[in-house]
Structure 1
Amino acid sequence: MNGFNLIDGQWIPVIKRGRRLEVGIRKALVDAHTIDGLALDDPLEAVAVLRQVLLPVVLDVFGAPRTDEEWSQRWEAGCFDRIIRKDRAEDEEGIESYLIRQAARFHLFHPTAPFAQVAGLRTAKDETKPVSLLVPRLASGNNVPLFSSRTENDPPSLTPAAAARALLAAHCWDTAAIKTGAADDPKVKTGKTMGNPTGPLGQFGIVLPLGETLFHTLMLSIPVLRHGLRQKDRPQWRSESSATSRWETRAPEGLLDLLTWQSRRIRLVPEADPTAVEDVSVRRVVLTAGDRLTGSVHALEPHTAWRQVDKPKADEPPVRPVRHQPGRSAWRGLEALLTTTPLSSDKVFAPTALSQLARLRDDGYVPDDLPLQVLTVGVKYGTQSAVIDEVMADEIPLPVTALARDSAVRETVLAVAAQAESLRIAANRLGDDLREAAGATDKLPWDKGQRLGEILIHSFNPTVHRLLAGLQQHPEDAKRAELAWRILARRLAWEVVDPVLSAAGPETFLGRDPGEPFGARLAGAEMSFRRTLNDVLGKDEDNRLALAAA
Structure 2
Amino acid sequence: MRTLTTTIRTDEPVRFNLTEQPWLPVVRMDGTRDEVDLVTLLSESHRIRRILGQSPPMTAALHRLVLALMHRVYGPADEKEWAELWRAESLPDPTTPRPGEPLPRLQADRFELFDAERPFLQCPAVSGVPASSAAKLVPHRAVGNNTTLFDHTTVQDEVRLSPAEAARWLVTLQAYDPGGMKTPYARDKSSQAAPANSMGMVLVEGRTLKETLLLNLMPYQPGESPRKTDVDDRPAWEAPPPRPEPEQRPPKGWTDLLTWPSRRVWLVPRQVDGETYVDRVVITPGTRLSGELEDNEWMAAHRRPKIREARSTRSGTTKPKYGPWYAVRLQEHRGVWRFSQELLLAPVGSEERRWQRPLTLDHVARMVMDRVIPRNAVYTLRVFGQQLDSKGSVVQQAMEETVAAPVALLRADHPVAGPVIGHSIELANLVGSALNQMDREHRAQFKAAASVGLDLAYWPLLSGPFDTFLQALARALEAGINPRPATDGWERAIWRIATEAAERWSERSLRQGRNLEVAGKCYEQFLEQLRHEIHTYHGYLVRYFE
TM-score normalised per structure 1: 0.81
Tell me, yes or no, if structure 1 residue 377 matches structure 2 residue 380. no
Tell me, yes or no, if structure 1 residue 210 matches structure 2 residue 213. no
**Which of the residues 120, 128, 131 maps onto 2:134?**
131
Aligned-residue Cα RMSD (Å) equals 3.4
Question: CA-to-partner distance for each residue in 1:161-211, whole Å, 9 max, x for gaps?
Answer: 1111100111111121222222xxxxx32xxx2332111111222111112
Partner residue in 2 for 1:230: 230
Inter-partner Cα distance in structure 2 for 1:112 and 1:225: 29
Q: Give the drift of 1:28.
A: 0.5
Question: CA-to-partner distance for each residue in 1:13-59, whole Å, 9 max, x for gaps?
Answer: 1122222211010010011122111122311111111112x111111
Q: Is the 8 A contact 1:401 1:409 kept in 2?
A: no
Q: Give the drift of 1:466.
A: 4.2
Q: Is the 8 A contact 2:236 2:256 kept in 1?
A: yes
**Which of the residues 518, 523, 526 maps onto 1:529?**
526
Q: Is the 8 A contact 2:73 2:105 kept in 1?
A: yes
Partner residue in 1 for 2:36: 23
Q: Give the drift of 1:451.
A: 4.7
Q: Give the drift of 1:236.
A: 1.2
Tell me, yes or no, if structure 1 residue 328 matches structure 2 residue 334. yes
Q: Give the drift of 1:318.
A: 6.1
Tell me, yes or no, if structure 1 residue 11 matches structure 2 residue 23. yes
SS of aligned partner of 1:374: strand
Give the partner amino acid of 1:435: R
Tell me, yes or no, if structure 1 residue 250 matches structure 2 residue 249. yes
Q: Give the drift of 1:233.
A: 1.4
Give the partner amino acid of 1:440: F
Q: Give the drift of 1:470.
A: 6.0
Inter-partner Cα distance in structure 1 for 2:438 and 2:305: 34
Q: Give the drift of 1:487.
A: 2.2
Inter-partner Cα distance in structure 2 for 1:56 and 1:180: 29
Inter-partner Cα distance in structure 2 for 1:83 and 1:473: 38
Q: Is the 8 A contact 1:85 1:92 kept in 2?
A: no
Tell me, yes or no, if structure 1 residue 38 matches structure 2 residue 51. yes
Tell me, yes or no, if structure 1 residue 356 matches structure 2 residue 367. no
**Which of the residues 33, 51, 72 maps onto 1:60?**
72
Q: Give the drift of 1:139.
A: 3.1
Partner residue in 2 for 1:481: 486
Give the partner amino acid of 2:460: H
Tell me, yes or no, if structure 1 residue 422 matches structure 2 residue 427. no
Q: Is the 8 A contact 1:432 1:443 kept in 2?
A: no
Partner residue in 2 for 1:548: none
Partner residue in 2 for 1:71: 82
The correspondence of residues 118-517 of structure 1 with structure 2, limited to 5 A, is: 118-119=123-124, 121-123=126-128, 126-140=129-143, 151-182=154-185, 188-189=186-187, 193-224=188-219, 227-228=224-225, 230-242=230-242, 244-274=243-273, 279-308=275-304, 319-341=325-347, 343-405=350-412, 406=414, 412-436=420-444, 439-441=445-447, 444=450, 449-468=451-470, 476=479, 478-505=483-510, 508-510=515-517
**Which of the residues 84, 87, 91 maps onto 2:101?**
91
Distance 1:527 1:141, change over 3 A: closer
SS of aligned partner of 2:251: coil
Inter-partner Cα distance in structure 1 for 2:387 and 2:454: 24
Inter-partner Cα distance in structure 1 for 2:34 and 2:43: 15
Distance 1:171 1:482, change over 3 A: same
Q: Give the drift of 1:349.
A: 2.0
Q: Is the 8 A contact 2:21 2:36 kept in 1?
A: yes
Q: Is the 8 A contact 2:269 2:277 kept in 1?
A: yes
Give the partner amino acid of 1:394: E
Inter-partner Cα distance in structure 2 for 1:17 and 1:353: 25
Partner residue in 2 for 1:81: 92
Which runs of 5 or more residues in structure 2 are unaligned? 1-12, 148-152, 308-322, 539-546
Partner residue in 2 for 1:547: none
Q: Is the 8 A contact 2:49 2:209 kept in 1?
A: yes
SS of aligned partner of 1:80: coil
Q: Give the drift of 1:246.
A: 3.6
Q: Is the 8 A contact 1:63 1:85 kept in 2?
A: no
Q: Give the drift of 1:395.
A: 2.0
Which runs of 5 or more residues in structure 1 are unaligned? 145-149, 183-187, 312-316, 511-520, 543-550
Q: Is the 8 A contact 2:334 2:459 kept in 1?
A: no
Distance 1:220 1:168, change over 3 A: same
Give the partner amino acid of 2:19: I
- Give the total of aligned pairs: 495
Distance 1:367 1:92, change over 3 A: farther
Q: Is the 8 A contact 2:94 2:105 kept in 1?
A: no
TM-score normalised per structure 2: 0.81
Q: Identical aligned pairs, as a percentage?
A: 26
Distance 1:532 1:72, change over 3 A: farther
Distance 1:351 1:383, change over 3 A: same
Q: Is the 8 A contact 2:462 2:493 kept in 1?
A: no
Partner residue in 1 for 2:313: none
Give the partner amino acid of 1:291: T
Q: Give the drift of 1:264.
A: 0.8
